[in-house]
């Protein structure tokens, strides 16, 4: 993948040099210009002049019909290169600078998928837009995501995406955290979902005849099976997760009304980023704290989310879920006391 990014940067630099009306460049000059740009981006330098010659041949073959013919001029023992049409560029924009800036930021947003097969085109397209910026061809990102680029299982996303689109049946070798033994599932994949920087696949497990959620970081291998794909005709995934926090939806799940006390300090955060779409304010206390309510199903992620707020959020009702949280807090205190 690094080679693809290097090639896009080299192509951008070579194009800039070939359309320079003030000077002409030899192959060595072009390599030096490319290496300067590659060093700025943190990539390895080119060591072979043949790489640059191949880049020029590729540019000419792809763009000669649009005026991209490259001329060669011999001066003594040196050869210099330039576009026959000095006004030609493979990066001829017909958009305003503001349009290009916005498009560039859009590409940087898409770059969160970096590292995934079949998304390599983003690098080349991003380099093409960078080359049109007057201030600098190396525009910095002004947006970032809380995304763990090293998370295990990310390499399976494009494979699973294609399997869902192409309706392919998969054999998945899987090892959950809760078991030491791995297991092989025959899966009809339906849906990919990200939660808390982890990716999950939802699909029909042929062995059990029901929908199962697979964490991608617990998948050991994936292979394709020559089997008839069973269509998803009963689940609307736009609504499937409506009643839960996270990705775990239990069979015959029951929606519960949860009443929570929220400290005055924490409430502004939960007001602007609600725990769930059903969140509503029930009461405002004299000290600035609030009582809020959400309507969700109980699952592992719900308990984890409420515990993550520490002393700033307290579950008041239902009592059965409250007792489970209190037991988790008690066990946490015991563990802390072990290491005094």
For 296, counting Cβ atoms within 10 Å of its Cβ (0-12 exposed, 13-18 middle, 19+ buried), the class is: buried
Structurally, the chain folds into a number of domains equal to: 3
334 and 273 housed in the same domain: yes
Pair 201, 216: CB distance under 8 Å: yes
Tell whether 97 is covered by a domain: no
Amino acid 139: pLDDT: 47
Tell whether 56 is covered by a domain: yes
Amino acid 70: pLDDT: 93
235 and 158 housed in the same domain: yes
Q: What is the mean pLDDT of each run of 10 residues along the chain (340 residues)?
A: 70 90 92 89 86 91 85 90 88 61 67 56 58 47 55 79 90 85 93 88 92 92 94 89 91 91 96 94 95 95 95 96 96 91
Tell whether 122 is covered by a domain: no
Amino acid 134: pLDDT: 40
161 and 209 housed in the same domain: yes
Amino acid 173: pLDDT: 93
Amino acid 156: pLDDT: 86
Q: Which tokens is 307 given?
A: 């515990």
- In the listed set 83, 99, 115, which residue is the last one of a domain according to the structure? 83
The Cα–Cα gap between 126 and 136 comes to 14
224 and 263 housed in the same domain: no
The Cα–Cα gap between 290 and 299 comes to 24
Tell whether 176 is covered by a domain: yes
pTM: 0.60
Residue 294's CATH number: 3.30.70
Q: How far is CA 141 from CA 34, 83, 95, 137, in A?
A: 22, 32, 20, 12
Residue 191 has, within 13 A of its CA and on its CB side, a CA count of 17
Residue 46's CATH number: 1.10.10.10
Q: Phi and psi at residue 175, in whole multiples of 5°?
A: -135, 100
Amino acid 1: pLDDT: 44
Amino acid 77: pLDDT: 87
202 and 272 housed in the same domain: no
Amino acid 131: pLDDT: 54
Residue 174's CATH number: 2.30.30.520
Amino acid 128: pLDDT: 56
Amino acid 302: pLDDT: 96
Residue 269 belongs to domain spanning: 255-338
Tell whether 105 is covered by a domain: no
């Amino acid at each position: 993948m690094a080679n693809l990014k290097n090639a896009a940067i080299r192509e951008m630099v070579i194009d800039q040099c070939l359309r320079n009306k003030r000077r002409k460049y030899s192959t060595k000059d072009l390599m030096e210009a490319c290496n300067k740009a590659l060093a700025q981006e943190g990539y390895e330098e080119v060591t072979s002049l043949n790489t640059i010659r191949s880049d020029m041949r590729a540019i000419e073959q792809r763009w000669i019909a649009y005026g991209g013919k490259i001329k060669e001029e011999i001066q003594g023992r040196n050869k210099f290169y330039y576009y026959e049409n000095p006004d030609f560029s493979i990066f001829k924009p017909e958009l305003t600078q503001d349009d290009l800036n916005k498009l560039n930021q859009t590409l940087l947003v898409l770059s969160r998928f970096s590292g995934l097969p079949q998304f390599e085109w983003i690098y080349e397209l991003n380099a093409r837009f960078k080359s049109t910026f007057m201030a600098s061809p190396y525009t910095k990102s002004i947006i970032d995501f809380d995304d763990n680029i090293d998370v295990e299982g990310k390499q399976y996303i494009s494979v699973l995406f294609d399997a869902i689109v192409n309706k392919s049946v998969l054999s998945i070798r899987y090892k959950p955290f809760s078991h030491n033994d791995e297991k092989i599932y025959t899966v009809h994949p339906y849906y990919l979902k990200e939660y808390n920087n982890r990716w999950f696949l939802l699909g029909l497990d042929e062995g059990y005849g029901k929908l199962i959620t697979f964490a991608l970081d617990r998948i050991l291998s994936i292979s394709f099976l020559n089997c008839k794909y069973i269509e998803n005709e009963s689940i609307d995934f736009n609504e499937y997760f409506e009643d839960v926090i996270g990705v775990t939806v239990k069979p015959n799940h029951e929606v519960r009304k949860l009443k929570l006390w929220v400290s005055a300090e924490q409430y502004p955060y939960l007001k602007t980023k609600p725990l769930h779409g059903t969140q509503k304010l029930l009461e405002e206390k004299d000290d600035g704290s609030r009582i809020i309510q959400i309507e969700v199903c109980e699952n592992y992620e719900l308990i984890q989310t409420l515990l993550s707020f520490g002393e700033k959020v307290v579950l008041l009702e239902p009592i059965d879920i409250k007792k489970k949280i209190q037991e988790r807090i008690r066990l946490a205190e015991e563990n802390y006391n072990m290491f005094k």
